[in-house]
A = this chain, B = another copy of it.
């Protein structure tokens, strides 16, 4: 399973979640080994487990090998905001670098496996490996771009558009991982979707029903089948 001299040395190794899935990095064999050593701390998680809670000291980033997670921030008055849903190959914890303390909770929505990446060692290695440094910068920047797109969604889209954009985003990400881009299994509740999209759960439910009525989707609880991808796209892009 690990990093020595076998045929396809890195397809199953622990470093892949960072290197292969997040962004491709060209590394020498030596650097590859060092990165693998860095990402060898893998650990199973169960549904409901917290990777970290806000307020905890920041030490590591978490690369998702398998599973499905949500991150959420908490407002002073108790309101929560889901800031993202993360799946395999994605990184959680970048927001904690700024203050050395986690600013959000990260919760597993299904069983999975994660790599814990000690951040000080990642920083040290990225000083020596320019490709890794650039990679890390792109990861963080990509997170900023993602957040800007959500701001756009929250700031100027209606319920229908938000939900269409959400489903298309999930579809695209599932598709990129070799799963069906049309038959989606939602790991989260209507409540969590609504919170993420700035809507109430009833509005999410009603809008899904409405999409189904119009032949865009087939919805049965958390199973969503996209029946008319083009028309769904026309909602968000605007024809």
Contact = CB atoms under 8 A, between A and B. Distances in A.
Interface of A: 73, 75-79, 81, 83, 94-99, 103-104, 123, 126-128, 130, 133-134, 136-138, 140-145, 147-152, 154-156, 195-198, 237-238
B79 A141 contact: no
A152 B154 CA distance: 10
A123 B130 contact: yes
Tally of this chain's copies: 2
A28 to B, nearest CB: 16
Contacts of A77: 237-238
Majority secondary structure, A binding face:
helix
A117 to B, nearest CB: 13
A206 B78 CA distance: 28
8 contacts: A75-B152, A78-B238, A81-B155, A81-B156, A97-B137, A127-B130, A147-B151, A156-B195
A99 B149 CA distance: 15
Given A134-B123, A198-B155, A144 B95 contact: yes
Given A83-B151, A151-B81, A155-B198, A138 B98 contact: yes
A99 B77 CA distance: 37
B130 A140 contact: no
